[in-house]
Amino acid sequence: MHARAPASLVLLLLAACAPASREAYVADAALGVCDALDACGRIGEDQPHDDLDDCTHDWEDLFDVAWPASACQAEDIDRADYDECLSDARTWACENDLANFADAVEACRPARVCGD
């Protein structure tokens, strides 16, 4: 017989995995996109980013502007929409086509990730 964790414990553990601040969400999103770009060979010589640090800095700047502190704090961020944003951005990172880019832009727009 398998023991089951109480639902409250599962929810607590899931909440513990969420970034604690807007800045942490921004850094997490940037690293997620850059890890995907790196895995798909899109970081390095003759690529948009020279290295992972360069990529992360650029994407942190992008997400920082997209999700401004004045309108988007950690408690405003919808985790499901944030996860969808990252998923679509990672797909775009590897497939690099216009349809995937449009999906990522739509999924990552501030009104969606930061709530209406």
Give me 58's structure tokens: 């650029």
pLDDT (tens digit per residue) in 30-85? 999 999 999 999 999 998 899 999 999 999 999 999 999 998 989 999 999 999 99
Boundaries of every domain in the chain: 20-113
pLDDT at position 8 is 43
DSSP-assigned letter for residue 70: T
Q: Is 92 helix (H, G, I), strand (E, B) or coil?
A: helix
pLDDT at position 17 is 58
CA torsion angle 40 46 49 53 (round to 10):
90
pTM above 0.75, yes or no: yes
Share of the chain above pLDDT 90, in %: 53
Q: Is the pLDDT of residue 19 over 50?
A: yes
